[in-house]
Structure formats: structure tokens, C-alpha cells
Chains A and B, each alone.
Chain A
Amino acid sequence: MKNVKRTYEQDMEGDGIHSLQKVIEPRRNEGSCTVKYFLIGVSVLFLFIMLFLPLMVVAANALKEGWRVYKENVLDEYTVKALKLTLLAAVTAVTINTVFGIFASFLLSKYNFRGRQLLASLIDLPFSISPVIAGLVFILTFGNIGWMGGFLKANHIKIVFAVPGVLLGTIFVTLPFVFRELFPVMNAAGKDEEEAAALMGAGGFTIFRKITFPHIKWALLYGMVLCTARAMGEFGAVSVISGHLRGKTNTLPLQVEILYNEFNTTAAFSVSSILVILAVLILIVKSFVERKRK
């Protein structure tokens, strides 16, 4: 009997055994190309309807009455104030949620304790609650008729229908973003390196600075970008809490709504274009960070 010792590669190549490639790769004349183009077509159509069309409509309507009117609308006093409040809300939310996200993900990924799972689920709460409900919750807690209403009134602290309320609402709805980017990364990294550093006498901040942070740098930035985007676009919760006080508690999205409800369509679209520009800027930063993450 011939002593045939064949390699795996030899086996896979010939002698009537179909190569793996032939079996898996779609054969030419079987309409696989059609499927590919069909899927691409559907995706492009979807993107066009959901993304490009609205953008084109915004741009067209914003400039409908000409460039001068556009400038007037964008530089209108209330609009500028709304822009400032939107930026303030975004910066506040990102700052607080970044600190929170770092602490929470460090705690949940490097330590084991009772209620760990529960805490992780709680952090996802803002995702599952409708922002409008969230706004209502704040009114019921901090409003005049709310739990803390008496205490706040006595100390002349205004939260609901004031800027603090807007900030609070924005912080709440963007709470999970940084955490959700950091946690998987930290969890996958395990705690061995941190333990090794701790055993050699390194303190908490040194460990974070030299060992944890370099690993989470880009995930952190990415989470902050997502948080910013969400904060700027927030409508529901802020709408309920703010009381729509023009020039005081209006964010850009709320300002758009007010203008639209007053049938000042061009102005509404003009202010919307500011949001679009901000969104595009955020998108550019996001793409940059995504690439760095790889």
C-alpha cells in the first residue's frame, strides 16, 4: 500500500475535492452581483431619504429669502442666546458625564462587589426612558409642587423653568454615553496591569494616569463626541423643564420649535442650519477619532 502522507493543503487543493474557495465564493452567473447592487441601492436610497433630502430642504429653506435675511435670523438676539445656552449645556453635560463615566467604568470593570450588575443597568436608564418623561420627573422633583419644591423655594433656588433645569435635563439624557464607550474597553483590559502596578506601590492616580488612561484615550474622546452630539440635539427633556422662556431658557432646538410654531418658517430653517453645521463639525471630529482608535 502506498504510504501517502499528504499535507492538509494538498488535501484541500485537488483530486476531485472542491476547494473551499469554490464552495464559498459566489459563482459568477448566479445573480450574486444583483444582490450586491440591490443592497447598495437600498442603503443609498435610505440615506438619501433620511439624511440628504432633509439637509437639502433645510439649506434651501434657510436661504429662501436670501443671504441677508439668513444672516439676520442667525444673528438674532434670541437665537444667539439659544446658541450660547446649547453650548453651555453641552459643555456642562460632557464635563460631568466624562468624570462620572471614568469613575463608573473604572469601578465596574476593576472591582467586584454586590450590586455591580444592578448599577450597570441603572446607568443605562436614560436610554430607556423617554426624554419627555425624564423632564417630567425633574419637574415633579424640583418644581414648586415637587418633593424638593419647598426646600428650594425657601432657599431661593430655581431649577425648573431656569437654566439649572436645562443643564440638569441635558446631563441626565447624556449620562450613559461616555460610560458605554469606556466600560467595554476597560472590562476587556482586565485588572491585571492595575494590580501589578498597585503591588509595586503605585497610588490610585498614578495607576490611572500611567496605565489605565493610555488605553482608554480614544474611547474616551469618542464617548465625549457622542455625548456632545446628543447634548446639542436634546429636545424632549429640555422642552418640558425649560418653560420655553425666550432669551433665558431656550436652547437651539427649542428656538427652532418656537419659530416654526409662529409660522416663521425661514427663520426656523435658518436656525436649524446652525445645528446642522454643528452636527457636521462633530461628525468630522468623530471620524478623526474613529480612525485614531484603529
Chain B
Amino acid sequence: MYVEMKQINKKFDGFQASSNVSFGVEKGQLAALLGPSGSGKTTILRMIAGLDEPDSGDIMINGRRVNQLPGSRRGIGFVFQNYALFRYMTVADNIAFGLEVQKQDKRTIKRRVEELLELIGMQDLGKRYPHQLSGGQRQRVAFARALAPNPQLLLLDEPFAAIDAKVRRELRTWLKGMIERVGITSIFVTHDQEEALELADLIIVTNCGKVEQIGTPKEICEKPESDFVKEFIDTARVWRL
């Protein structure tokens, strides 16, 4: 297990956001936290990233308990839902940011930025500003920026939520290809069943702060372990038909 959540509990002002959450993601796997809005999946992601602290339970990354470790030292790349690109910096500067913080030398940074711009297919757009990019382009820059410091774990918070339907499909395929190519362990949050079923190796279904079921897309579809999972997945299958 590369990432493990053990009996995680989190309360926000009396509201139980996470209740006894436990799951594990293997190295190199692409896992999806799937559930309706408000089911606690983003909370889980943020706790793995160190943006929020659990009230109880253990967060393990690479066999190490990281609860007390600040997010920046957990080897994580995070893609925010609205990308959170630095609006006063160019695309190239955005991607370079993590490396500059690590005080790498200019040549290394330049090379890595060029490498990533090529990876996301935006070689000529390095000098653009975020507001001059389309939604899909911003998403790709956010992805590159998260990857630049060579993290071991990639976390994505509803990466396609802010994108229109048509571009979404292309971007989905592109992202899956990228992640497989880079080979990085990834966890993404989504409320879109189709997305989870299509992209993920492992799906963790959440509801009301609890984990309903963990399994491969096939297992989730064919052997739903609760009524909620059954209905939730059925909605997706109806659409697919």
C-alpha cells in the first residue's frame, strides 16, 4: 500500500465530515473517490494533502505516518478544482514555482519546464497568463505545475468539474494517458460515476462521510455491497445505455 487511511474521523463544527474512513491505494494505481456532493470525498483528499487535519486516525504514505508532517513535505502534487493557477505569473513561471521554492538551479528549472510544456502539448504558450487560456489549457497547466517537483503522489480535486462536457471527454482520456505514462500514484475526487468507472483502477465509494465500498470498476458494477452503491452506479449505467 502506498497510501493508507486508517480509521479517519473528521468533524467540522459539529458536522461529521468523515466517519471511520479506511482504505488503501497501491503504488502506481489510479484511484477514484466517488460520491455525491457533500459525501466527504474532498475532505479526505485534503487530509491526505495536509490541508486539513483529521481528528483521529492515521494517514500513511509509503509506510510512514504523516499526520504531523506538513503537506509540503509529503511529496504530493495537488490539482485544485478551479486549478488555482497563480494569476500574476506566466504559464512557465507557474510550472516552475515548486522547483524555485526548492531552490533548484535555473538551468534545471528551465529544462524541466520545457519538458513539461512538451508533455502537456503547450510548448508555445509558456509566456501566456492564466486568464489568456481556455479551461482545458488551464487544467493542463495545473497538472504540469503539480508534477514539476516530481511528487510521489498526485491528488486531483474534481479535475473536470469546471470544464464543459465536450472538452471533458478528451481531457479525461488525455489525463489517464498522462498518468499512466508518468506512472505516478494518483487519487482523484469526482461525483461523476462514468468518469470514475472509465478512468480508475480502484474506486472508493463515499456517502455521508463513510466509505460504502472499495473495489475495481468491475466489482463495483457487478457486486454492489449496499443499496446506495447499487442506485448510485445504476444511474451511471442508465446513462451509458
Contacts and interface: CB of A to CB of B under 8 A. Distances in A.
Contacts of A202: 72, 97, 101
26 contacts: A192-B82, A192-B84, A193-B84, A193-B85, A195-B51, A195-B84, A196-B78, A196-B86, A199-B51, A199-B71, A199-B72, A200-B97, A200-B98, A200-B101, A201-B72, A201-B73, A201-B102, A201-B149, A202-B101, A206-B101, A210-B86, A211-B86, A211-B88, A214-B88, A215-B87, A215-B88
B159 interface: no
B76 interface: yes
A215 B149 CA distance: 25
Interface in A254-271: none
Contacts of A140: none
Interface in B48-72: 49-51, 71-72
B2 interface: no
B232 interface: no
Interface residues of A, number: 15
Interface of B: 49-51, 71-73, 76, 78, 80, 82, 84-89, 97-98, 101-102, 145, 149
A282 interface: no
A1 B78 CA distance: 57
Contacts of B73: 201
List 6 A-B pairs, minimum CB-CB distance, nearest first: A192-B84, A201-B72, A214-B88, A200-B98, A196-B84, A201-B101
Given A199-B49, A200-B97, A193 B87 contact: yes
B174 to A, nearest CB: 21
Given A192-B84, A193-B87, A199 B101 contact: no
Nearest to A212: B88
Nearest to A194: B84
A279 interface: no
A210 to B, nearest CB: 7
